[in-house]
């Protein structure tokens, strides 16, 4: 294992598109070579070295490479996007598209993340100690193939559009979420440990949702079918089990109509 | 058009219009036209060891207009894969930005056709009310000459006249509409069925009556052939048949083709056909459902081969993720019900409709694999390659940028077998088709017939496009292929055809080593009919506007001159 | 002798009425009378006679005042400023013809700009819904000729599109709707009792912000399932009755407006409405349409879709490919996140229509307005360049709310020396090419109309 440390030296005037900050791009390169890797600030071609002091050489492969960003990346986009292996740790905030399209490896953001993190993620782990803005683990505009695999864990809260068009994988929001959870989803699992304003599972075809807090406005297309004991992410509880969205189409499997399942923690 | 002289030297010339098949020779161009010879100071293009053909002609492609754009607009994801820009061919040398895969932007459309040596492309369906939109896109598309076919077969005027048996009035209306829309010819899409779709219905068979119009698809087709030949237009009627895409549709297909029996082409443009049946692949299926869905290419081609007054194009499935779009509104709704992907629909008052749905042709899904085989089989069964043209019904069965791949499959059994071998259910597919038993490999001469001389003739443009005879347009494509020693590896054929070594249009070098180097001088080609005034039609048309079935003013309906610059107008005179 | 010009298009609202008759003075410089238009449209034409319309660009001086400068100087400043910026933002196009939108795209590409239009603050959510779910729609003539059930969801055409109801949606007698309004059942779904709601046979006064739930309830009922007793403040019986009306229609037309696009979950409201339309097509024929605001605000969506594949929020800064992701590349987000360093406001009033904070962010950098008139944006700009008014003294193509292209004509002669949007942008582009020592790319198709004659009388 080899660790590459990036120390932020300058705050970008516009946002810096740090699409090279991945173990895959760093693999096999020396610190000096890494500093030469490209990025964009608006239409200007920049290098990582323009914004970071790079120390440490990368490992032979992405899997052997750990990236540590020793500072804040509030104005850096695409950290760890499309990575397949290795790790990225940010000791601060990160901007949009963290772990977008990622296939493997692990990202740990110790601060907050902006929107579109884990967009169309296929595998790996994305952990955020703070809050995330909107579109956690969603699909790109127009694509019906959202998040397919991997795990996103947000220790704080998240905004709207969580897991839109999700097909697989797991999203855990440890605090609250605003609106639109698993909209249009056809698979995957979303766990909200806090409260949700509403629009949970709208137009959803298949997949699972767990809400441990309250849902302020239920979708009318969900129907309670039973009450079950379940354990989810280390929490054992009694859940009201709903199926839906009854307004949406649903496929059949072995002669049975398949619905999306919403498990809402039963009132004590 | 460039002035000055140019000579393409020493290539293997393939020109079916003059029955030249690989002879080494020169092509001389002067003032944008092919000539016998040029002076010694002419610019020399060295084509030694390379194949030289005319610029190619696409008879049917959806490249400009409202439904194409609806597809672009609704599919941002068509531009990216995993967040990466998808247009692999993007031009690097500072030309206009390229975008999109299955429904490329206008810039990419022009550039990509040019890179493959195409000089003329026919936009296959123009809704008349939206014709200014189609022309706006055409004038933003670089390089290629284009025409557009207005759709007629669900038009209220046409159905009304034909119901009453008024062929001359139909013809007068066609003449008016071609002029108003700067259109090229008579397109029929799901005759009657699209009109029925305005009420959510369809006409699947040739004898299903159209609601409210008391006419059948068969009568519409026959009436439009009669009107087309009455006018003597350069192109025959261009028919997208009823019952597209459904298992077991081939008897309907043959029944529709039979309507052409007994008609003779009447025109001054060298056209011999009276019906062009487009994307025949979608109409050549057997079976009762998706389980026994199979190819009936042989049955359909047996008929086409003996019926000399029809032409066809293939509509080959390329096994890509693409976007289907057609004026066949009910079909798109049906397709959306099968794949549940997003669905756009545009019904156009008085005239037509259109639908758009993304579609993934998956080689591991047996019906898709059968469709792939069916398209290729049609060509492999064809006897007269001058009546059978290569298309993918872009973007319906695949993007036009896959023509080189289709050609690879047609020219190499090995390439076909390699593709079959990658299919999960290859045995099932083989059982439902004939492709595996077919050994025929088309020659480059036959490919030139299918992409050049044939389509040009069928469009009535055989005197200017599709050949290298003196007097024709100075459009020449040069490919990195040694005719005497074609590569064993068919992939190399695909690569060579994807990016021309050189493409000359109107005597100007447009593409060099696969890259666009000039924007050339594109033209808009349309057909203007001069015929005696028909007071009834004039009155009927103006009433539709004043009495308010249309929602636009008649003064704003015809396409204004400036929207179609560099017009190449084909005059047709109809005597009183 | 004054001249009467017929078949004139009205350059105001998305109805884009093209049956206006305008009487102009003999010398074609004054509009004397306007017939057929509604009051808003009539006023717009008369306003073009305003003698105080700006005739020269104005540049802000070090002391804060605005000073008139020649066009060449303004063009040079605009070209240099945009080239120098790392990421300029071009926004607006509420009142520009398609020729202008096509021309501005060259500048945007050349300067690596983001290209956005007013949809970003009005019907942008509708685009997002179309991306996700498609758009089963039709032209307005279909509504007129066939629709026997018309639903207005979150829109009030009686106010915002005055002639919409008489030309297309409620009152006109069409081919299969000879009895006009008598034959149409009108539903209004709106939290307020608008003038349109008053006209409706059924008014569902839903709780503000709960459109999504209500659409879901409609869909659930349509599939034969039960729903809660009250959804979004509407009793179950009313929902069931409304669904029956839609389902039993011969042709059900749904118009939706900013009431849907401006509440929480924006795009999902439209998305659900599209799903409902789709579901209705299993039972009958149904169609849906966005009530676009301006007469050609559908235009940029069309022009830029054929040029770049995206209708709005188009980031061209990479030079190699276009990128679009509203939420990131949308004007207000770019401004709020300080992602742009130059702002060009064209044929719209960002000063009035944006919230105050994004305007404050944008004001940190060069701020340019291209507009025929003075407006809030022009008055806070560093440079204001006046242009002709499309549809009044400049002809061109516009796209009506149903994406029907209408070829607008000019009715009067333009102010001397004032260019059209297209001419201005072409000159800026030429200047950019000079400055960067590159060849301009006009495409053959454009050669003929780089500086079109205006055709006042036809
Ligand atoms: S309804 Fe709209 S387009 Fe028609 S006249 Fe009034 S403002 Fe103009
Ligand atoms: Zn077609």
Q: How far is CA C161 from the centre of its chain?
A: 13
Of C266, C290, C314, which residue is a domain's last? C290
Q: Kindly indicate the confidence band of residue C456, based on its pLDDT and cuts at 50, 70 and 90.
A: very low
Could you tell me if residue C385 is inside a domain? Answer: yes
Q: How far off is chain C from A198, nearest CA to CA, in Å?
A: 9
Could you tell me if residue C224 is inside a domain? Answer: yes
Q: Which of residues 176-205 of C touch B (CB under 8 A)?
A: 176
- Distance between Cα C296 and ligand 1 center (Å): 12
Could you tell me if residue C271 is inside a domain? Answer: yes
- Strand A170-173 vs strand A186-192: parallel, antiparallel, or unpaired? parallel
User: Which chain B residue has the Cα nearest residue C452?
Assistant: B562
| Same domain, residue pair C161 and C193 | yes
- Sign of the Cα pseudo-torsion (C287, C399, B193, B555, in order): positive
- Which of C38, C195, C297 for mutating ligand 1's site (highest number of atoms within 8 Å of CB)? C38
Q: What is the SS3 assignment for C267? A: helix
Q: Which atom of ligand 1 is nearest to the CA of C36?
A: 5
Q: What is the SS3 assignment for A158? A: strand
User: Which chain C residue has the Cα nearest residue B357?
Assistant: C134
Say if residue C447's pLDDT is above 60: no
Hey, which chains touch C, using 3+ CB pairs under 8 Å?
A, B
| Same domain, residue pair C116 and C129 | no
**Chain B residue numbers touching A249 (CB-CB < 8 A):** 340
Q: What is the SS3 assignment for C328? A: coil
Q: Kindly indicate the confidence band of residue C458, based on its pLDDT and cuts at 50, 70 and 90.
A: very low
Are the C-beta atoms of residues C113 and C92 closer than 8 Å to each other?
Answer: no
* Nearest CA residue ID for atom 7, ligand 1: C41
| Same domain, residue pair C202 and C275 | yes
| Same domain, residue pair C312 and C401 | yes
Long-range contacts of C259-263 (CB under 8 A, 24+ apart): C259/C153, C259/C154, C259/C155, C259/C156, C259/C190, C259/C191, C259/C211, C260/C125, C260/C153, C260/C154, C260/C155, C260/C211, C261/C122, C261/C123, C261/C124, C261/C125, C261/C126, C261/C154, C263/C154, C263/C208, C263/C209, C263/C211
Q: Does the CB of A160 have a partner CB in chain C at under 8 Å?
A: yes
Rounded average pLDDT per 10-residue block, chain A, 268 residues = 95 96 97 97 96 97 97 97 97 97 98 97 98 97 96 98 98 97 98 97 97 97 97 96 97 94 92
Could you tell me if residue C455 is inside a domain? Answer: no
DSSP string covering C393-423, please?
TB-EEEE-TT--EEEE---SPPPTTPPPHHH
Burial of A105 (0-12, 13-18, 19+ CB in 10 A): buried
Q: Kindly indicate the confidence band of residue C442, based on its pLDDT and cuts at 50, 70 and 90.
A: confident
Q: What is the pTM of this model?
A: 0.96
Q: What is the SS3 assignment for A145? A: coil
Each residue's pLDDT tens digit in chain B (576 positions)?
456 899 999 999 999 999 999 999 999 999 999 999 999 999 999 999 999 999 999 999 999 999 999 999 999 999 987 777 776 656 666 789 999 999 999 999 999 999 999 999 999 999 999 999 999 999 899 999 999 999 999 999 999 999 999 999 999 999 999 999 999 999 999 999 999 999 999 999 999 999 999 999 999 999 999 999 999 999 999 999 999 999 999 999 999 999 999 999 999 999 999 999 999 999 999 999 999 999 999 999 999 999 999 999 999 999 999 999 999 999 999 999 999 999 999 999 999 999 999 999 999 999 999 999 999 999 999 999 999 999 999 999 999 999 999 999 999 999 999 999 999 999 999 999 999 999 999 999 999 999 999 999 999 999 999 999 999 999 999 999 999 988 889 999 999 999 999 999 999 999 999 999 999 889 999 999 999 999 999 999 999 998 879 999 999 999 998 888 789 999 999 986
C-beta C12 within 6 A of ligand 1: yes
Q: Which atom of ligand 1 is nearest to the CA of C39?
A: 6
Q: What is the SS3 assignment for B483? A: helix
C-beta C268 within 6 A of ligand 1: no
* Nearest CA residue ID for atom 3, ligand 1: C16
Q: What is the pLDDT of residue B89?
A: 59
- Sign of the Cα pseudo-torsion (B44, B49, B50, B54, in order): positive
Q: Where do the structural domains in chain B lie, given as residue ranges?
A: 56-458
Q: How far off is chain B from A216, nearest CA to CA, in Å?
A: 30
Indicate which ligand has the atom closest to the C-alpha of C163.
1
Query: Averaged over C14-23, what is the pLDDT?
Result: 96
Nearest to C167 among B199, B551, B559 (CB): B551
Could you tell me if residue C454 is inside a domain? Answer: no
Q: What is the pLDDT of residue B90?
A: 61
Residues 6+ apart with CB under 8 A from B386: B16, B449, B453, B454, B457
- The 10s digit of each residue's pLDDT in C176-206 is 999 999 999 999 999 999 999 999 999 999 9
- Which of C156, C163, C292, C408 for mutating ligand 1's site (highest number of atoms within 8 Å of CB)? C163
The CATH number linked to C148 is: 3.40.228.10
Are the C-beta atoms of residues C296 and B68 closer than 8 Å to each other?
Answer: no
Could you tell me if residue C394 is inside a domain? Answer: yes
User: For the stretch C37-51, what's the b/e string if a residue is b when 16 or more beta carbons lie within 10 angstroms of its beta carbon?
Assistant: bbeebbebbeebeee
Element (H, E) at B416: helix B413-421
CB-based contact C317 A40, cutoff 8 Å: yes
Tokens 């293939």, residue located: B314
- Distance between Cα B212 and ligand 2 center (Å): 27
CB-based contact C407 B556, cutoff 8 Å: yes
Q: Provide the angle, in degrees to the nearest 10, between the axes of the packed helices C71-84 and C98-111.
A: 50
| Same domain, residue pair C145 and C232 | yes
Could you tell me if residue C174 is inside a domain? Answer: yes
Q: Kindly indicate the confidence band of residue C264, based on its pLDDT and cuts at 50, 70 and 90.
A: low
CA nearest to C377, candidates C337, C344, C421: C344
Are the C-beta atoms of residues B131 and B559 closer than 8 Å to each other?
Answer: yes
- Rounded CA separation C444/C264 (Å): 46
Tokens 């389980």, residue located: B291
Of C240, C255, C290, which residue is a domain's last? C290
Alpha helices in B90-244 (DSSP H): 106-115, 131-140, 156-163, 167-181, 193-197, 217-231
C-beta C94 within 6 A of ligand 1: no
How many CB atoms are closer than 10 A to CB C364? 12
Q: For B56-458, CATH number?
A: 3.20.20.140
CB-based contact A203 C275, cutoff 8 Å: yes
- The 10s digit of each residue's pLDDT in C356-376 is 999 999 999 999 999 999 999
DSSP secondary structure code for residue C147 in this structure:
-
Are the C-beta atoms of residues B544 and B121 closer than 8 Å to each other?
Answer: no
| Same domain, residue pair C163 and C222 | yes
Say if residue C444's pLDDT is above 60: no
CB-based contact A140 B77, cutoff 8 Å: yes
Q: Which atom of ligand 1 is nearest to the CA of C9?
A: 3
| Same domain, residue pair C114 and C132 | no
CB-based contact A82 B83, cutoff 8 Å: yes
| Same domain, residue pair C217 and C89 | no
- Strand B310-313 vs strand B388-389: parallel, antiparallel, or unpaired? parallel
- Distance between Cα C160 and ligand 1 center (Å): 9
Q: Write out the two tokens for B212.
A: 């409210």
- Sign of the Cα pseudo-torsion (C159, C164, C166, C172, in order): negative
* Nearest CA residue ID for atom 5, ligand 1: C37
| Same domain, residue pair C88 and C18 | no
The CATH number linked to C437 is: 3.40.50.740
Q: Kindly indicate the confidence band of residue C446, based on its pLDDT and cuts at 50, 70 and 90.
A: low
* Nearest CA residue ID for atom 2, ligand 1: C13
Q: Which atom of ligand 1 is nearest to the CA of C163?
A: 1
CA nearest to C263, candidates C210, C211, C209, C215: C209
Could you tell me if residue C148 is inside a domain? Answer: yes
Q: What is the SS3 assignment for B54? A: strand
- Rounded CA separation C91/C298 (Å): 14
C-beta C37 within 6 A of ligand 1: yes
Q: How far off is chain B from C73, nearest CA to CA, in Å?
A: 27
Which residue range(s) make up the domain with C232? Answer: 124-290
Query: Averaged over C316-337, what is the pLDDT?
Result: 94
DSSP string covering A188-251, please?
EEEEESS-EEEEETTT--EEEEEESS-EEE--TT-EEEEEEEEEETTEEEEEEEEEE-TTS---
- Rounded CA separation C373/C370 (Å): 9
Q: How far off is chain A from C276, nearest CA to CA, in Å?
A: 9
Q: Which of residues 237-256 of A touch C (CB under 8 A)?
A: 245-248
| Same domain, residue pair C256 and C334 | no
| Same domain, residue pair C160 and C37 | no
Residues 6+ apart with CB under 8 A from A85: A23, A24, A61, A62, A63, A104, A105
Separate counts of helices (H) and strands (E) for chain B: 18, 26
| Same domain, residue pair C360 and C379 | yes
Q: Provide the angle, in degrees to the nearest 10, between the axes of the packed helices C98-111 and C298-308.
A: 50
Q: What is the pLDDT of residue B93?
A: 62
* Nearest CA residue ID for atom 4, ligand 1: C17
- Rounded CA separation B381/C159 (Å): 63
Of C13, C28, C47, which residue is a domain's last? C47
Are the C-beta atoms of residues C445 and B141 closer than 8 Å to each other?
Answer: yes
Q: What is the pLDDT of residue B462?
A: 97
What is the number of domains present in chain C?
Answer: 3
- Distance between Cα A86 and ligand 1 center (Å): 60
Q: How far off is chain A from C83, nearest CA to CA, in Å?
A: 10
Q: Write out the two tokens for A183.
A: 């909209």
Q: How far off is chain C from B282, nearest CA to CA, in Å?
A: 24
Separate counts of helices (H) and strands (E) for chain C: 19, 22
């Amino acid at each position: 294992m080899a660790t590459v440390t990036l120390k932020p030296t300058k705050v970008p005037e516009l946002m810096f598109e740090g699409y090279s900050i991945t173990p895959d791009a760093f693999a096999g390169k020396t610190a000096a070579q890494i500093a030469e890797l490209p990025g964009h600030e608006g239409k200007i071609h920049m290098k990582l070295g323009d914004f970071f002091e790079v120390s440490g050489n990368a490992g032979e492969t992405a899997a052997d490479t750990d990236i540590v960003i020793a500072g804040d990346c509030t104005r850096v986009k695409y950290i760890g996007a499309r990575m397949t292996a290795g790790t990225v740790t940010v000791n601060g905030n990160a901007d949009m598209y963290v772990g977008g399209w990622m296939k493997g490896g692990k990202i740990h953001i110790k601060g907050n993340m902006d929107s579109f993190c884990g967009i169309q993620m296929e595998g790996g782990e994305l952990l955020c100690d703070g809050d995330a803005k909107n579109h956690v683990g969603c699909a790109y505009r127009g694509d019906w193939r959202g998040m397919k695999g991997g795990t996103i864990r947000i220790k704080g809260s998240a905004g709207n559009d969580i897991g839109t068009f999700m097909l697989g994988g797991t999203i855990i929001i440890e605090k609250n979420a605003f609106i639109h959870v698993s909209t249009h989803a056809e698979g995957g699992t979303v766990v909200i440990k806090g409260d949700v304003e509403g629009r949970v599972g709208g137009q959803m075809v298949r997949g699972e949702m767990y809400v441990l807090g309250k849902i302020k406005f239920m979708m009318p297309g969900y129907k309670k079918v039973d009450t079950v004991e379940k354990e989810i992410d280390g929490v054992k509880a009694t859940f009201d089990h709903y199926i839906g969205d009854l307004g949406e189409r649903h496929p059949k499997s072995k002669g049975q109509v398949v619905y999306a399942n919403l498990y809402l923690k039963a009132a004590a | 058009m460039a002035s000055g002289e140019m000579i393409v030297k020493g290539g293997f010339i393939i020109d079916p219009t003059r029955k030249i098949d690989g002879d080494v020779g020169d092509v001389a161009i002067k003032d944008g036209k092919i000539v016998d010879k040029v002076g010694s100071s002419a610019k020399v293009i060295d084509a030694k060891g390379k194949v030289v053909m005319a610029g190619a002609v696409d008879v049917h492609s959806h490249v400009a207009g409202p439904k194409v754009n609806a597809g672009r607009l609704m599919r941002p994801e068509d531009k990216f894969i995993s967040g990466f820009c998808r247009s692999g061919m993007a031009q690097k040398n500072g030309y206009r930005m390229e975008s999109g895969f299955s429904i490329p932007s206008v810039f990419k459309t022009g550039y990509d056709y040019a890179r493959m040596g195409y000089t003329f492309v026919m936009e296959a369906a123009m809704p008349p009310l939206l014709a200014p939109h189609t022309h706006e896109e055409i004038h933003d598309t670089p390089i290629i000459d284009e025409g557009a076919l207005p759709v007629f077969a669900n038009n209220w005027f046409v159905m009304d006249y034909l119901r009453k048996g008024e062929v001359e009035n139909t013809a007068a209306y066609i003449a008016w509409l071609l002029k108003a829309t700067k259109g090229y010819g008579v397109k029929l899409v799901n005759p009657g069925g699209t009109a029925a779709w305005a009420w959510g219905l369809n006409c699947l068979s040739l004898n299903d009556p159209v609601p409210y119009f008391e006419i059948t698809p068969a009568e519409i087709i026959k009436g439009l052939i009669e009107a087309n030949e009455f006018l003597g237009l350069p192109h025959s009627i261009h028919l997208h048949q009823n019952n597209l895409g459904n298992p077991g549709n081939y008897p309907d297909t043959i029944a529709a083709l039979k309507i052409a029996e007994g008609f003779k082409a009447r025109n001054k443009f060298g056209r011999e056909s009276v019906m062009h049946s487009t994307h025949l692949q979608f109409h050549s299926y057997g079976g009762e459902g998706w389980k026994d869905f199979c190819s009936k290419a042989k049955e359909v081609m047996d008929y086409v081969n003996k019926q000399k007054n029809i032409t066809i194009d293939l509509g080959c499935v390329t096994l890509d993720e693409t976007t289907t779009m057609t004026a066949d509104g009910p079909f798109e709704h049906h397709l959306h019900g099968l794949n549940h992907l997003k669905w756009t629909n545009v019904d156009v008052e008085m005239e037509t409709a259109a639908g758009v749905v993304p579609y993934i042709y998956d080689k591991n899904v047996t019906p898709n694999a059968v469709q792939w085989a069916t398209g290729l089989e049609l060509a492999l069964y064809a006897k007269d390659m001058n009546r059978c043209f290569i298309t993918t019904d872009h973007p319906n069965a695949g993007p036009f940028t896959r023509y080189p791949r289709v050609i690879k499959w047609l020219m190499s059994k090995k390439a076909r077998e390699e593709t079959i071998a990658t299919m999960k259910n290859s045995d099932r597919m083989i059982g439902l088709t004939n492709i595996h038993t077919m050994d025929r490999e088309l020659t480059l001469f036959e490919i030139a017939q299918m992409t050049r001389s044939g389509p040009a003739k069928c469009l009535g443009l055989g005197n200017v496009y599709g050949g290298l005879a003196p007097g024709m347009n100075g459009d020449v494509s040069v490919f990195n292929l040694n005719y005497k020693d074609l590569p064993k590896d068919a992939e190399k054929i695909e690569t060579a055809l994807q990016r021309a070594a050189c493409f000359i249009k109107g005597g100007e070098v447009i593409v060099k080593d696969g890259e666009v180097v000039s924007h050339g001088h594109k033209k808009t080609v349309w057909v203007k009919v001069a015929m005696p005034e028909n007071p009834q039609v004039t009155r009927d048309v103006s009433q539709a506007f004043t009495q308010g079935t249309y929602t636009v003013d008649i003064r704003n309906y015809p396409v204004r001159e400036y929207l179609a610059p560099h017009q190449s107008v084909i005059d047709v005179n109809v005597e009183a | 002798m004054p001249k009467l010009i017929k078949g004139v298009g009205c350059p105001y609202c998305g109805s884009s009425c093209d049956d206006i008759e305008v009487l102009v003075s003999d010398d074609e410089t004054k509009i004397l009378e306007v017939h057929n238009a509604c009051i808003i449209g009539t006023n717009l034409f008369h306003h073009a006679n305003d003698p105080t319309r700006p005739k020269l660009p104005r540049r802000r001086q070090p002391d804060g005042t605005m000073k008139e400068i020649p066009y060449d100087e303004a063009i040079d400043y605009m070209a240099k400023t945009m080239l120098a910026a790392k990421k300029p933002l071009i926004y607006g196009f509420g009142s520009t013809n398609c020729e202008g939108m096509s021309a501005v795209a060259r500048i945007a590409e050349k300067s690596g700009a983001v290209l956005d239009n007013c949809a970003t603050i009005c019907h942008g959510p509708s685009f997002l819904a179309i991306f996700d779910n498609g758009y089963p729609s039709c032209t307005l003539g279909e509504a007129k000729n066939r629709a026997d059930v018309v639903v207005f969801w979150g829109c009030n055409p009686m106010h915002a599109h005055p002639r919409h109801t008489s030309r297309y949606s409620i009152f006109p007698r069409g081919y299969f709707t000879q009895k006009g309004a008598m034959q149409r059942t009108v539903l209004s779904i709106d939290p307020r009792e608008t003038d349109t709601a008053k006209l409706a046979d059924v008014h569902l006064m839903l709780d503000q912000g709960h459109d999504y739930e209500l659409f879901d309830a409609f869909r659930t009922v349509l599939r034969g399932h039960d729903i809660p007793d009250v959804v979004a403040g509407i009793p179950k019986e009313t929902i069931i009755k409304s669904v029956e009306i839609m389902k039993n229609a011969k042709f059900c037309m749904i118009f939706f407006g900013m009431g849907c696009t401006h509440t929480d979950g924006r795009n999902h409201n439209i998305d659900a409405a599209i799903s409902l339309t789709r579901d209705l097509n299993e039972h009958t024929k149904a169609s849906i349409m966005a009530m676009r605001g301006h007469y050609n605000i559908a235009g940029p969506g069309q022009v830029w879709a054929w040029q770049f594949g995206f209708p709005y929020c188009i980031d061209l800064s990479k030079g190699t490919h276009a990128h679009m992701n509203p939420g990131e590349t949308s004007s207000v987000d770019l401004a709020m996140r300080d992602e742009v360093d130059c702002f060009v406001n064209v044929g719209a009033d960002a000063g009035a229509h944006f919230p105050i904070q994004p305007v404050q962010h944008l004001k940190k950098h060069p701020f340019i307005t291209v507009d025929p008139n003075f407006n809030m944006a022009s008055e806070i700009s560093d440079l204001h360049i006046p242009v002709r008014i499309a549809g009044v003294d400049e002809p061109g193509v516009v796209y009506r709310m149903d994406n029907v292209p209408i070829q607008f004509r000019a009715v009067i002669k333009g102010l001397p020396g004032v260019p059209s949007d297209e001419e201005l942008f072409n000159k800026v582009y030429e200047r950019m090419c000079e400055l960067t020592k590159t060849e301009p790319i006009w495409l053959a198709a454009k050669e003929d109309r780089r500086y079109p004659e205006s055709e006042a009388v036809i």
